[in-house]
Amino acid sequence: NAGVIQTPRHKVTGKGQEATLWCEPISGHSAVFWYRQTIVQGLEFLTYFRNQAPIDDSGMPKERFSAQMPNQSHSTLKIQSTQPQDSAVYLCASSSPGKNTEVFFGKGTRLTVV
Amino acid sequence: QQQVRQSSQSLTVWEGETAILNCSYENSAFDYFPWYQQFPGEGPALLIAIRSVSDKKEDGRFTIFFNKREKNLSLHIKDSQPGDSATYFCAASASSGSWQLIFGSGTQLTVMP
């Protein structure tokens, strides 16, 4: 079990460019979560999918951010027209079916917008 | 409004002591409380969790004490080791709502040898 895999581990983009972050959840896990971590804001929930369907995106900035889960083995988080304030560690996590089960996090993608 | 609050940003203890990390919450609907441990450059890893029907959960050197009436909980790390030095996050979620975890701001624990 390789755990939740996130690629790339580090990404540097210029202001205004697009960034796509990839996540491969643990096989068999039906829930996939995206969080953002910064020193100032801490761990912030962005969105989550259950059985590939978007369930709650209440934490997603309404403009420029989008997430997809085209199949059960990967999810993407796309940020259009990146801004310096988007710089953060983006964490993907997955959990098995059922509420309040253990959520496993990946190592994260550190996004730096210059 | 911070729904999950960790009162100490940092805590330093000596090796062998018991480290006590505190957490409080606002939402009475929260019924699941995991603690996560995070090392630099890594994602958070689940350490131990408790459900609101219990007042204590123990796993090796780690114990959660939970007070539903006071809406607070604490993580006790017995016989602290330098390898326990990490940031610890208290989190909460509600079975009745979204599955998202609400995290506290974290407590950075340093265990001095």
Q: Residue B95: which CATH number?
A: 2.60.40.10
Chain B residues whose beta carbon lies within 8 Å of the beta carbon of residue A55: 98-99
Query: pLDDT (tens digit, 0 to 9) for every residue of chain A, 114 residues total?
Result: 689 999 999 999 999 999 999 999 999 898 999 999 999 999 999 999 999 999 999 999 988 999 999 999 999 999 999 999 999 999 999 998 766 678 999 999 999 999
Per-residue confidence (pLDDT) for residue B48, from 0 to 100: 96
The boundaries of the domain holding residue B24 are 4-112
Residue contact A107–B43, C-beta within 8 A: yes
Per-residue confidence (pLDDT) for residue B98, from 0 to 100: 72
Chain B residues whose beta carbon lies within 8 Å of the beta carbon of residue A67: none
Chain A residues whose beta carbon lies within 8 Å of the beta carbon of residue B46: 102-104
Per-residue confidence (pLDDT) for residue A99, from 0 to 100: 60
CB of B41 within 8 Å of a chain A CB? The answer is: yes
**Minimum CA–CA partner of A110 in chain B:** B41
Per-residue confidence (pLDDT) for residue B82, from 0 to 100: 97
Per-residue confidence (pLDDT) for residue A102, from 0 to 100: 85
Backbone angles phi, psi at B60, to 5 degrees: 65, -125
Per-residue confidence (pLDDT) for residue B1, from 0 to 100: 55
How far, rounded to the nearest angstrom, does the alpha carbon of residue B46 sit from its chain's CA centroid? 10
Provide the number of structural domains found in chain B: 1
Kindly state the average pLDDT of the residues B61-66: 98
Residue B63 has pLDDT above 80, yes or no: yes
Decide: B35 and B57 in contact? Cβ < 8 Å: no
Kindly state the average pLDDT of the residues B39-63: 95
Mean pLDDT of the residues in chain B? 94
Residue contact A99–B89, C-beta within 8 A: no
| Total H helices, total E strands in chain A | 0, 11
Chain B residues whose beta carbon lies within 8 Å of the beta carbon of residue A99: 32, 95, 99
Decide: B109 and B85 in contact? Cβ < 8 Å: yes
Whole-angstrom distance, CA of residue B45 vs CA of residue B47: 6
Q: Each residue of B68-86: pLDDT tens digit?
A: 999 999 999 999 999 999 9
**Minimum CA–CA partner of A107 in chain B:** B43
Of A3, A44, A43, the closest CA to residue A24 belongs to A3
B103: nearest CB among A43, A58, A95: A43
Residue contact B99–A56, C-beta within 8 A: yes
Beta strands in chain B (DSSP E): 4-5, 10-14, 19-25, 32-38, 45-51, 56-59, 62-67, 72-77, 86-92, 102-103, 107-112
Residue B13 has pLDDT above 90, yes or no: yes
Per-residue confidence (pLDDT) for residue A101, from 0 to 100: 74
Residue contact A95–B99, C-beta within 8 A: yes
Per-residue confidence (pLDDT) for residue A86, from 0 to 100: 96
Per-residue confidence (pLDDT) for residue B46, from 0 to 100: 93
Residue contact A102–B43, C-beta within 8 A: no
CATH superfamily, with its number, for domain A5-113: Immunoglobulins (2.60.40.10)
Kindly state the average pLDDT of the residues B6-13: 95
Residue contact B99–A99, C-beta within 8 A: yes
Chain B residues whose beta carbon lies within 8 Å of the beta carbon of residue A48: 98-100
> What are the sequence ranges of the domains in chain A?
5-113
Per-residue confidence (pLDDT) for residue A100, from 0 to 100: 62
